[in-house]
Amino acid sequence: MPEITIPTLAEGEKLLARYAKLAAAADGHEADLAAKIAPLKAAADKKLAPIATELDELKAKLEPWWKAHAADLTKGKKKSHELLGCVIGTRANPKKLTFAGGDDEAAIAALRAGRFNALLSRVVSLDKKAITARVDAEPDGPVAKLGFSVVQGETFYVDLATRSRKA
């Protein structure tokens, strides 16, 4: 790996000036590109809107048709069928647990009352915010002696001042 020489203060200022000029140019090109893309997107959206509407309408009409004719088309053996360049059918959605008795707290109460505690889980996790505060307050305290420490690194950055002020 080649050795990196550290620029002098004046050389660093020249590098920053060059960086600012290039970053501003890049921002300008991105703004120009966005301005040119916006009308194209708007035109495409205008063309696509009626197509999307008609596709939704066709799908709404095809669903009952599929339910009525699926068994004949698939000979009762499949959930989908390829026809006229389309694949039509049904697929199972992911399983979702529901509880008729109300919210999660009511469900937990019902399971406990029915002695189904094995179906309940207890989640234990680190309260990292509290541990950090404790270690910060007592760097040599009992929590720190368990092996906890707080570290905070730094990340180098360079950006245009106008961008930094926006953030």
Which residue ranges make up each domain of the chain?
A: 8-88
β-sheet bridge partners, residue 31: none
Q: What integer is the mean pLDDT of 113-127?
A: 89
The per-residue pLDDT of the chain, averaged, comes to 92
Q: Which helix H or strand E contains 74, and what residues bound it?
A: helix 9-74
Q: How far apart are CA 109 and CA 103, in angstroms?
A: 10
Percent of the chain surpassing pLDDT 70: 96
pLDDT at position 159: 85
Q: What is the pLDDT of residues 15-55, one digit of tens each?
A: 999 999 999 999 999 999 999 999 999 999 999 999 999 99
Q: What is the pLDDT of residues 124-148, one digit of tens each?
A: 899 999 999 999 999 999 999 999 9
CA angle 100, 101, 107 (to 5 degrees): 110
Q: How far apart are CA 109 and CA 102, in angstroms?
A: 11
pLDDT at position 166: 58
Q: What integer is the mean pLDDT of 77-103?
A: 90
> Which residues, in sequence order, are CB contacts of 107 under 8 Å at separation 6+?
99, 101
Query: Does residue 165 surpass a pLDDT of 70?
Result: no
- The answer to pTM > 0.75 is no
Find the length of the chain.
167
